[in-house]
Amino acid sequence: MKNFLKMVWVRNKTVPTEACLQSFNQNFAEAVNVEWFKKTGAYEAIFYNNNIECIALFHENGSLIEYRQNLPLSHLPEIIKSTVQSKGEIMNTVLINKGNLLEYELIIRDADLKRFCLNISEFGEIVDEKKL
């Protein structure tokens, strides 16, 4: 029980490289509630930017690999909405920016209440589809 309470109340103590911190501050100057995690060869930051949850992944040298942000349905481009409208109800949307490529990850629920994860390019092409 003590260990559980400690895990709940003690925040993550991961400290990224100085290069990661500088890159993060340049890219996400308005970020709040930042938590860092060490990944294999990289650092991950989970934070809020303009009240939207985001995740950014950095190489140890500070270069930004990708970032993801939860995307309100109202901000989803029409081309993406029209691509998935026949597949079912959109439950969740995430914008993925990897380099200069945008991709959208959507959780869809069909008429049989089965859920699917769709990855769609910024041009409305389905890149990947898997049942959850």
Longest dimension (CA), the chain: 51
Return all residues near 50 (Cβ < 8 A) that are at least 6 apart.
30
**Are the C-beta atoms of residues 86 and 102 closer than 8 Å to each other?**
no
Give pLDDT, residue 12. Answer: 64
User: Domains in the chain, ordered, with CATH?
Assistant: 1-68 (3.10.450.360), 71-132 (3.10.450.40)
Give pLDDT, residue 100. Answer: 85
List strands edge to edge, sheet with 126-131: 32-39, 42-49, 52-59, 64-70, 89-98, 101-109, 115-121, 126-131
Give pLDDT, residue 11. Answer: 59
**Are the C-beta atoms of residues 93 and 76 closer than 8 Å to each other?**
yes
pLDDT at 2 > cutoff 60: no
pTM: 0.82
pLDDT at 126 > cutoff 80: yes
pLDDT tens figures, 68-119? 999 999 999 999 999 998 999 999 999 999 988 999 999 999 999 999 999 9
Give pLDDT, residue 5. Answer: 43
pLDDT tens figures, 3-51? 444 444 445 678 899 999 999 999 999 999 999 999 998 999 999 999 9
In terms of Cα–Cα distance, which of 98, 90, 48, 99 is closest to 72? 90
* Mean per-residue pLDDT of the chain: 90
Give pLDDT, residue 8. Answer: 44
Backbone angles phi, psi at 89, to 5 degrees: -85, 135
**Are the C-beta atoms of residues 83 and 90 closer than 8 Å to each other?**
no
